[in-house]
């Protein structure tokens, strides 16, 4: 067992942490106020390659393994989660579909632009009546000559307002249920693609989600992503791939909350001494530290397993579940340690508190992660008993 990160990755993490802590974090308040990532931050993020995090080197990306990706996600998770989400949704679910399922032509066409950040990716699965239950999709795609005609609507689409490339799941054969869903690459500006209103959320300011409408939207047949009828499987794969990365982003936020809380507990004085000297505060910090280390171990182990080619459906769901639960626990304790100032916007703690909440909902709710884990447990059990019982 070797728990050391490669020296290249250590260097890369260091330079990204420097960018995140010293360039992005100082404008985190501005991002909250203006609900916008400043142009210079977007530009610099693109220049240092963050948008090409998941894309192979031959298409202009960073071409790094999962441990490397998690290392970088951890660093960008330290600051405004709106910033983290703009990049994470693009490099995660927004581009992984094309990387994993795209044909050579599609990869050549889209990936270099996505790697440089000139083209922003978004993933369009969720519909008003199909959230966790992706099989209930209503968006239809009907083939007509060399085109598919899409009709329907999506909502809560992260990066929707700024995206150039959408990975869209639509029903091509309603009689086949989950096997009648196909994924498509839909470009911004396609006829009949309408970007709806930007949704007002509790947190993740700077990252925008919107509704998307397809009104006889025309998509050329060559934009089918992967095999027709495998869209649902594709969606699951894309989401599974993102889970370790989500855990790593949460890990970065947790680490930052830990650092802020330790500092505040030493600086804040009540009853004539730093509140750190109160045993309850010490115990809160001990619990936070324990949670951070647990999450770190689980996250990097799953990433390492991905790099070894090991199937991680169960472990990735565990990491996503653990990461979001721990992030929420720590955010709550950090607010409590900070007291009144933790509830006020001029201090960053409340921002993490609001941002943390969505992590238990998006990209598969905590309940869905438990379903996935349980389904794997069941499968493993069936392998241990004679087939007659199966």
Residue 366 contacts other proteins per CB under 8 A: yes
Q: What angle do helix axes 231-267 and 81-91 make, rounded to 10 degrees? A: 160
Find the shortest distance in angstroms from Cβ 218 to other proteins: 29
Residue 200 contacts other proteins per CB under 8 A: yes
Torsion from C-alpha of 140, 145, 147, 151, nearest 10 degrees: -20
Nearer to other proteins by C-beta: 48 or 361?
361
CA 378 to chain centre: 27
Nearer to other proteins by C-beta: 187 or 199?
199
34 an active-site residue?
no
- Binding other proteins (rule: CB under 8 A), the pick from 79, 80, 126, 250 is 126
Find the shortest distance in angstroms from Cβ 244 to other proteins: 22
Residues 273-292 interacting with other proteins (rule: CB under 8 A): 278, 280
Residue 345 contacts other proteins per CB under 8 A: yes
Residue 237 burial by CB count (10 A; 0-12/13-18/19+): exposed, middle or buried?
A: middle
- How many residues in total does the chain contain? 390
Stretch of 37-45, 113-121, 257-265, 331-339 lying at the interface with other proteins (CB under 8 A): 331-339
How many residues touch other proteins (CB under 8 A)?
Answer: 41
- Per the structure block, which two tokens stand in for 368? 């869905």
Coil, helix or strand at residue 119: coil
Pairing, β 121-124 against β 165-171: parallel
Stretch of 79-87, 251-259, 332-340, 381-389 lying at the interface with other proteins (CB under 8 A): 332-340
Backbone torsions φ then ψ of 202, nearest 5 degrees: -75, -35
Q: State the sign of the Cα–Cα–Cα–Cα dihedral 165, 137, 81, 77.
A: negative
Nearer to other proteins by C-beta: 12 or 125?
125
Distance CA 351, CA 333 (A): 14
Distance CA 189, CA 143 (A): 20
Residue 382 contacts other proteins per CB under 8 A: no
Residue 132 contacts other proteins per CB under 8 A: yes
Where on the chain is the footprint of other proteins (CB under 8 A)? 126, 129, 131-133, 135-136, 156, 199-203, 269-272, 278, 280, 328, 332, 335-336, 339-340, 342-346, 350, 353-354, 357-358, 360-362, 365-367
């Amino acid at each position: 067992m070797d728990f050391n990160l490669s020296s290249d990755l250590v260097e890369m993490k260091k330079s990204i942490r420097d960018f995140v802590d010293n360039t992005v974090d100082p404008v985190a308040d501005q991002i909250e106020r203006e609900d916008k990532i400043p142009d210079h931050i977007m530009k610099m993020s693109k220049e240092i390659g963050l948008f090409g995090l998941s894309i192979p080197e031959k298409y202009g990306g960073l071409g790094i393994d999962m441990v490397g990706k998690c290392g970088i996600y951890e660093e960008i998770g330290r600051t405004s989660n709106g910033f983290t989400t703009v990049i994470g949704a693009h490099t995660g679910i927004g581009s992984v579909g094309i990387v994993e399922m795209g044909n050579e032509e599609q990869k050549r066409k889209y990936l270099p632009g996505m790697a440089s950040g000139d083209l922003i990716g978004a993933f369009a699965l969720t519909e008003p009546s199909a959230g966790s239950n992706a099989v209930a999709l209503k968006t239809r795609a009907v083939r007509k000559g060399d085109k598919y005609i899409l009709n329907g609507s999506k909502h809560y689409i992260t990066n929707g307002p700024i995206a150039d490339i959408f990975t869209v799941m639509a029903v091509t054969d309603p009689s086949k249920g989950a096997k009648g869903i196909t994924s498509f690459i839909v470009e911004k500006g396609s006829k009949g693609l309408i970007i709806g209103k930007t949704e007002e959320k509790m947190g993740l300011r700077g990252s925008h989600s919107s509704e998307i409408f397809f009104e006889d939207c025309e998509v050329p047949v060559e934009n089918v992503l992967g095999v027709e009828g495998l869209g649902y499987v594709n969606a699951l794969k894309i989401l599974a791939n993102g889970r370790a990365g989500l855990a790593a982003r949460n890990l970065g936020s947790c680490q930052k909350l830990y650092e802020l809380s330790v500092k505040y507990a030493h600086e804040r004085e009540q009853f004539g001494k730093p509140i750190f000297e109160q045993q309850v505060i010490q115990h809160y910090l001990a619990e936070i530290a324990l949670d951070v280390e647990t999450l770190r171990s689980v996250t990097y182990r799953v990433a390492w397993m991905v790099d070894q080619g090991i199937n991680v459906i169960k472990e990735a769901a565990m990491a996503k579940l653990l990461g979001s639960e721990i992030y929420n626990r720590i955010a709550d304790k950090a607010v409590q340690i900070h007291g009144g100032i933790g509830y006020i916007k001029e201090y960053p703690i409340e921002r993490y508190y609001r941002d943390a909440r969505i992590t238990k909902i998006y990209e598969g709710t905590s309940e869905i992660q438990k379903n996935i884990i349980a389904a794997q447990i069941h499968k493993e059990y069936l392998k241990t008993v004679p087939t007659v019982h199966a």
